[in-house]
């Protein structure tokens, strides 16, 4: 994850946070570590009302990645803490090969990068005076220094009054932020029980609780469990209708530790009996335009950039981790003393009494409060067979489309019995209720599109270069694990064979 934060600085890094679903095969224990960013103590509920498309340190939640890494290492780590940092420090100093995906993000955000000295000094190539392009080499020397200090001195150097934390807060204040040293000292992770949902053929999903969207994923799978039909077109219609119900109820969710009112709907979403009731609302010959039919009273706030890692160990242990700084390059500001790019997680909270572009009010369950975490679309997941063996490790990047993409991959792998490569890479459909339109990738068959149009759906056919959620998965229903990286975004899949000498 440390290396990913350097090669994918637009998606994750030390200035962000993460959620991990972790499985220990020997004991059968599954748990979730929520290490997402929290709202600073100085926030007020209406502080962003009337402001659109804001950037800068004011939008940053309390950075939580390093503290989360430490907690994860304390409980599950094998190698010395310091050794974990060595490859990333070396990459920062020797040079980072700019990928096509990073080059595209730099080009797309060029104006913001040029106008912010803390960003331009690392992302503008001094030899060309342009953003770094694919194949060029860039360096992160200041970040390397920070990583070296954290490796030696531990997370206290950030979170318990240490020098890196002090420098970080100085830079945050200098750029208009409101995070304090007390916010860093007060930050803590949450160890939680995973959510569960049954899948066909005796498999069971384990995924992350609120404020991530594991409950939305579990609901989709619960509803679709007995909805499979041989007609793929009819199957797609049923899945789209399930997505619409899922996002309707998502509008009522928030951080359950701050919003006790969400408990009832949260329990419903993971209850198969509730899924059975929703199934009766899904009609094979029509769709509906009224959002209230799908349980919605409010609008959702869309989150943004993320990165995902799936790992399956030789002993059967597994971890599924989704990391984020929210938008591309987060707050689009960097601590010049530490090299840390700040997140813009506060942008994921609702704005009270603000109507969406579709004249729908924002969800009060997701209003900002000190210490609260905003709703997120991430859902790092692990699927076990009935013998407790890992059958799938999966998660994704890509805002709202993460949840529906993970659901589609799981259904295609376990229900439609597609190979994992096909389950991940085949054309996708997505619907998040508002606007009332399906996003369809161009690979989706034309007869499916026509079938959906004839039922009354509106369909937006995306271009090939339009971003969709990118998944990282490891399937294990055959003799060997099959890692796969989504063709939609750059990634890598590696199988490491251990010998007796290791």
As annotated, the active-site residues are: 306
CA pair distance 242, 158, nearest whole angstrom: 44
Return the number of other C-beta atoms located less than 10 Å from residue 260's C-beta. 8
Please indicate if the annotation marks 64 as binding a ligand. no
412 sits in which H/E element: helix 401-414
Please indicate if the annotation marks 377 as binding a ligand. yes
Measured CA angle at 423 (ends 295, 439), to 5 deg: 45
CA pair distance 444, 461, nearest whole angstrom: 9
163 sits in which H/E element: helix 163-174
Compute φ and ψ for 452, nearest 5 degrees: -65, -40
| Residue 487: partners with Cβ closer than 8 Å, 6 or more residues away | 425
Compute φ and ψ for 32, nearest 5 degrees: -125, 135
- Enumerate the β-bridge partners of residue 97: 137
CA pair distance 123, 161, nearest whole angstrom: 30
CA pair distance 49, 145, nearest whole angstrom: 38
The beta-strand segments (E) located in 285-359 are 305-312, 318-326
At 236 the three-state DSSP class reads: helix
Cα dist from 194 to 21, 102, 213, 322, whole Å:
7, 33, 12, 15
| The total number of residues written for the chain in this structure | 502
Measured CA angle at 406 (ends 269, 372), to 5 deg: 55
Q: Are strands 459-461 and 438-440 parallel, antiparallel or unpaired?
A: parallel
Tokens of 334: 């960097």
The residue with tokens 């690979």 is: 443
Please indicate if the annotation marks 376 as binding a ligand. yes
CA Rg, the chain, in Å? 22
Measured CA angle at 150 (ends 147, 151), to 5 deg: 80
| Residue 502: partners with Cβ closer than 8 Å, 6 or more residues away | none
CA pair distance 472, 1, nearest whole angstrom: 14
% helix / strand / coil in the chain, to the nearest 5? 35, 20, 45
CA pair distance 245, 222, nearest whole angstrom: 12
67 sits in which H/E element: helix 65-76
The residue with tokens 């502080």 is: 47
Asked if residues 482 and 421 have their Cβ atoms less than 8 Å apart, the reply is yes
CA pair distance 429, 382, nearest whole angstrom: 23
Please indicate if the annotation marks 213 as binding a ligand. no
Q: Which residues are known binding-site members?
A: 324-326, 376-377, 399
Q: Which residues are known binding-site members for L-glutamate?
A: 324-326, 376-377, 399
């Amino acid at each position: 994850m440390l290396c990913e934060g350097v090669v994918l600085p637009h998606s994750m890094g030390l200035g962000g946070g993460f959620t991990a679903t972790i499985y220990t095969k020997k004991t059968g224990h599954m748990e979730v570590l929520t290490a997402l960013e929290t709202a600073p103590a100085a926030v007020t509920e209406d502080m962003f009302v009337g402001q659109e498309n804001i950037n800068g340190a004011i939008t940053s939640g309390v950075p939580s990645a390093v503290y989360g890494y430490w907690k994860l290492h304390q409980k599950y780590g094998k190698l010395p803490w310091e050794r974990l940092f060595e490859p990333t420090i070396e990459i920062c100093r020797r040079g980072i090969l700019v990928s096509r995906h990073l080059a595209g993000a730099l080009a797309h955000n060029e104006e913001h990068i040029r106008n912010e000295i803390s960003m331009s000094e690392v992302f503008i190539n001094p030899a060309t005076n342009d953003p770094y392009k694919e194949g060029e080499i860039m360096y992160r020397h200041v970040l390397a220094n920070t990583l070296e200090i954290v490796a030696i001195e531990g997370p206290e150097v950030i979170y318990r009054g240490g020098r890196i934390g002090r420098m970080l807060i100085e830079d945050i204040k200098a750029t208009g932020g409101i995070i304090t040293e007390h916010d860093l000292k007060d930050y803590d992770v949450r160890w939680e029980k995973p959510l569960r949902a049954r899948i066909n053929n005796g498999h069971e999903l384990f995924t992350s609780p609120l404020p991530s969207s594991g409950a939305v994923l579990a609901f989709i799978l619960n509803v679709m469990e007995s909805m499979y039909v041989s007609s793929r077109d009819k199957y797609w219609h049923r899945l789209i209708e399930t997505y619409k119900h899922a996002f309707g109820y998502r509008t009522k969710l928030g951080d359950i530790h701050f919003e006790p009112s969400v408990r009832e709907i949260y329990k419903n979403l993971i209850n198969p009996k509730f899924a059975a009731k929703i199934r009766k609302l899904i009609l094979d010959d029509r769709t509906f335009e009224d959002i209230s039919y799908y349980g919605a009273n409010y609008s959702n706030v869309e989150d943004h950039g993320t990165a995902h890692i799936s790992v399956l160990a030789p002993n059967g242990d597994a971890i599924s981790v989704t990391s984020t700084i929210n938008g591309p390059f987060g707050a689009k500001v960097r601590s010049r003393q530490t090299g840390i790019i700040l997140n813009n997680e506060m942008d994921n909270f609702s704005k009270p009494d603000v109507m969406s572009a579709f004249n729908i009010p924002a969800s009060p369950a997701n209003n900002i409060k000190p210490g609260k975490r905003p709703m997120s679309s991430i859902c790092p997941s692990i699927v076990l067979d009935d013998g407790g063996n890992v059958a799938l490790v999966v998660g994704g990047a890509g805002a709202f489309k993460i949840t529906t993409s993970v659901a589609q991959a799981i259904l295609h792998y376990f229900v439609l019995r597609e190979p994992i490569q096909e389950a991940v890479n085949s054309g996708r459909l997505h619907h998040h209720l508002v606007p009332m339109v399906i996003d369809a990738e161009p690979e989706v068959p034309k007869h499916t599109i026509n079938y959906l149009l004839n039922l009354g759906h509106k369909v937006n056919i995306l271009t090939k270069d339009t971003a969709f959620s990118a998944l990282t998965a490891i399937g294990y229903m055959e003799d060997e694990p099959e890692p796969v990286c989504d063709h939609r975004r750059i990634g890598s899949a590696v199988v490491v064979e251990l010998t007796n000498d290791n």
